[in-house]
Structure formats: C-alpha cells, structure tokens
Structure 1
Amino acid sequence: MMQRAATGTGPILSALVQNAGQQNRGMATLKAISIRLKSVKNIQKITQSMKMVSAAKYSRAERELKQARPYGEGTQQFYEKAEIAAAEQTEPKKLLIAMTSDRGLCGAVHTGVARNIRNELAQDSSNIKVFCVGDKSRAILQRLYGKNIIMVANEVGRLPPTFLDASKIATEIMKSGYEFTEGKIVYNKFRSVVSYALSHIPIFSAPVVESSQKLVQYDSLDADVIQSYLEFSLASLLFYAMKEGACSEQSSRMTAMDNASKNAGEMIEKLTLTFNRTRQAVITRELIEIISGAAALD
C-alpha cells in the first residue's frame, strides 16, 4: 500500500514542483521588467532636468553671443579690408585650433569639429599642428594624431567663456614656439535653436601681416603695434568662436535631451504594456492552476 501511495503521489509532487518553477520564472520576468521600467523613468527625469538647465543656459549664451559678435566681425573685416592673405609656399606650416569643450551629451557638436580636422590631417599631417580647446577634441584626435597636438586647454564649457579665457589661450598660442605661416579656428557657428554650421576663421602670423601692401594706409604701424594688435585680434577671434560654440552646444544639448526624454517616454509606454501583459499572464496561469487543482480533488 505504501508503494502504491508513493507511486500515486509522485506525479502530483512533480506537477507542483513544475508549477512552482513556472511561477518563479514569471515573477523573475516581472521583477526584471519592473527594474528596467524604474531605471528608464529615472533616466527620463534626468534628461528632462538637463533640458531645463540647457534651456536656461542657452538663453544666456544667446544674449552674450550678440554682445560678442562685434569682436569677431570687426577683426575679420580688418583682415579683409587690408587684404591680408598667406603667401603660397611649398611647405606651409599650418595651425588648426579646434574649438570644443569638456562636456558631452550634446549631439555631434564636438564630433563635427574633430572630424573636419581629422580629414585635413589625413591628407597631410607633416606640417600641421593642432591646438585643442576642450578635452573632447583631444580625446578624438589623440589616438591617431597625438603627435600633432601641441597643447590642450581644459576646463572649457563648465562656465560661460570670458574674454580672459580667450586671452589666456591666445597667450599660450603665442608662447608655444610654433611659427605657423597660416592657420584657422574651426568652430560651430550658431544659426538657430535647431541648427548650427561648421565654420572656420583664418588667423595670420606677424610676418604675414607685415608683408601686406595695404597696411601702409595706416599711420604709426611699427612692429610693436602690429604685435600688440595681433595678440588682441587673436583673443577677440577666440572669444567670438568660443561664444558661437557655447551657444551651439547649449542649443544642441537642449535638443538632444528633448529627444532623449521623448524616447524614454516611448520606452516607458512599451515596458508598461509588457509588464501589464506579463502580470496578467501570470495571474491567469495561477488561476488555471488553482481551478485545475480544485477540479482534480473533486
């Protein structure tokens, strides 16, 4: 009798163990979905907060950009009126200034600047040096063209750029010891809240400016005056490019965080639907097991 009783209860015990395993798997799936749903909701809160912060910073950056534009436009007009241009040489020495920052999560703002410089270095990197303003450009260019980077300016982008910051960068460029014949500042030019354009500003060394034929129209232009103006003009152009880049960065970050928040919202809806369907399936399976067990006992 005991053998028959053991034999009779064997299938029941195995069915109970199997049902318990299925229930645990269902609960594990619900727990995993719940954890994922909670993490996505937290990410959405962060992206929404970053969007609000970027919107406030963008408004300030746009106001300051309007005040900084005369610095850059006035300096460029002087070079245009004086018709200053680099002379054609067999082996020109170029200086490229990458205008980026240390902060990310702003789309392809920094990548576009670094890609433009990287394409130019890919053609001929023997006589080209790069000055990286911001750590993002250094991180992209260092792996392949680390030997072409002469200096890096860090701690850029955490606070709004000032003319003092631009003056320090201009001083370091002048003191670097690299005598370039031509150069340019690669930066992002702000157009609107949803668009910016990659642009560049030419810069010139003292010998190139002194060789201009139209400088004789100006009185009292000796070497010291030209050197002082070159230092001021370089700082002005850097300040203007930094303001353009900062405004483009904040607008791009605001757009990127808005898109991230929308994507997180869509993911929350899908995860919520999956969670409800899975929970309903678990409840339905448990009800079927209870009803089947009650029917078996009858």
Structure 2
Amino acid sequence: MMMQRANLLVPVAIEATLQSQPQRGMATLKAISIRLKSVKNIQKITQSMKMVSAAKYSRAERDLKAARPYGIGAQQFFEKTEIQSDEKAEPKKLLIAMTSDRGLCGAVHTGVARHIRNELAATGDANTKIFCVGDKSRSILARTFGKNILMVANEVGRLPPTFLDASKIAHEVLKTGYDFTEGQIIYNKFKSVVSYQLSTLPVFSAPTVEKSEKLALYDSLDSDIIQSYLEYSLASLIFFTMKEGACSEQSSRMTAMDNASKNAGEMIEKLTLTFNRTRQAVITRELIEIISGAAALN
C-alpha cells in the first residue's frame, strides 16, 4: 500500500517539478533584467552627477584662490599678538563645524563631526557649545550632543558661499549670548583634487583679545575698534573656511561619483553574464523537454 502510494506520487512530483522549473527560470530572468535596468539607470545618474561636480569643482577652485588672502590676513593678527585664553577664568569653548546641507561626498562631513565628538569626549561637554554651519553636522551631532548645539545655519552648499553669507554667520555667532573664551573653526582644507585635510583655526572673544600683552604693537586700539575688527576677522575666517570646504566637498563628490560609476559598470558586467547564463540554461532545459517528449511519443 505504501509502495503504491509512493508510485502514484512520483509522476505527480516530477510533473510539478518540470512545470515549476521554466517558471522559476523566467522569474529569475525577469528579476535579473529589472535589476540590470535599475543599475544602468543608477550609472547614468552617477555619471551625470560626476560631470556636474566637475564643473562646480572648477569654479570652487577658482573662487578659493581669491578667498585665501582673507583667511591668511585674519590669521596673522592672532599669530602676531599671540593671544591665549585666560587659564584662571572658567573655560567656555565654542566649536564651529563647517559643513553643508548636501551629501554624497564621501567622509567630508563625517570627519568634521568625528573631530568634534572626540573633542567633547576628551575635554567634557559641560562648557562647550557647537555652532553648526550646514545641516549635515547637525544631523550627525544631534544624536549624542544635541544639548550642546547652540545654533544651526541652514541652506549652505546649494549655491557658492559669499562673503555676505559669512558675515551673517559671524553676526549670529557673536550675538548668540554665549560668552566663549576661546573657540575653533573645524573645516576641511583643500589640498588637491583627490585629497583634503581636516584642519582647525582658533577664534577668540573680545575680552580675551584685550588681555593680550602684545596687543600694544598696534596703535590706537580701543574696545570698539577691537570689537569691529574681530567681527570682520571672524567673517573673513568663516568665508575662507567655507570656500575651502566647498572646494573639498565638490572634489570629494566628483571622486565618489566616479567610483560609484565604476562600481555600477562592474555590477552591470556581472549581471549581464548572469543573465546570459540563466537564459542559456532555460533554453537548454526547454530543448531537453521537447526532445524527451518527442522521444516518448516515438
């Protein structure tokens, strides 16, 4: 009885298998074809983004050459006067993260956020505030250090930065009401089309600058003049670092899109090979079934 039941089930199982194999093969071919088409579309997008980034990079590099004197001139004042924070006073630190609102540019933004996280972990976050220039740094740092974020400047990176944008950011930094004793601007310094370096620039408040012993090198400096110059120098440093960051971002995005296009090309080759092999297997299986059926009829 058991053997009879098994004999009855064997042809049914074989027939079901033969019916399901072509269906599985067709489904596999359809799935591979859809995926292949999707990867080809992604490759077109990444190639277009690479071309756009290349054009923006050329403009950003030209603008950076014109903006570097602003940053060099502003740094000279702090270097010549040898300004240092007051060790007796309670330290209050301000970290300015120079990023943008746009992604798909490698580790440009995450490197800045990582440096700030390490700084807060080493020195403590009790008397340290963060001013985020760009929404990318805010989205990364808000998870663990949301209470330390003082303010966020949005709409950065969609258009090339201007000195007016830097002046607005500098005005907001000085008008936040946070009386910091020292600060840092964390940004990406452009080196070449394939490399950039994470760098920092010091920033000091007006009371800290007035206590410098070498400030007497400059004649006729009162509190109003120092305050006005600090506002201008901060705007110059922010403008300089925004240009450095924009150039680094565009070059990194161009490299990232080039790598993405190459990876998509490799995936297209593998999927095409898999598609051809699967189609050949389906054709071979169908021919075997036709020949077997013809032989059975004879």
The TM-score, its normalising length taken from structure 1, stands at 0.94
Task: Map 1:39-188; keep pairs closer than 5 Å.
Answer: 39-89=38-88, 91-123=90-122, 124-188=124-188
Give the aligned partner of residue 236 of structure 2: 236
Query: By how many angstroms is 1:18 displaced?
Result: 3.2
Separation in 2 of the partners of 1:89 and 1:197?
33
Deviation readout 1:48-89 (Å, 9 max, x if unpaired): 000000000000000000000000001101111122222224
Separation in 1 of the partners of 2:231 and 2:89?
27
Query: By how many angstroms is 1:182 displaced?
Result: 0.5
- 1:20 is aligned to 2:19: yes
Give the aligned partner of residue 4 of structure 1: none
Give the aligned partner of residue 295 of structure 2: 295
3-state SS of paired residue (2:95): strand
3-state SS of paired residue (2:94): strand
Q: Which moved more, 1:77-86 or 1:60-69?
A: 77-86
- 1:222 is aligned to 2:222: yes
Separation in 2 of the partners of 1:267 and 1:114?
32
3-state SS of paired residue (2:191): strand
Unaligned ranges ≥5, structure 2? 1-7
Separation in 2 of the partners of 1:244 and 1:82?
25
Deviation readout 1:80-127 (Å, 9 max, x if unpaired): 112222222463100000000010000000000000001111220001
Moved over 6 A (4+): 9-14
Give the aligned partner of residue 257 of structure 2: 257
Task: Map 1:271-282; keep pairs closer than 5 Å.
Answer: 271-282=271-282
- Report sequence identity in percent: 79
3-state SS of paired residue (2:198): strand
Aligned residue pairs total: 291
3-state SS of paired residue (1:22): helix
3-state SS of paired residue (1:200): strand
Separation in 2 of the partners of 1:30 and 1:18?
18
Question: RMSD of the TM alignment (CA)?
Answer: 1.6
The TM-score, its normalising length taken from structure 2, stands at 0.94
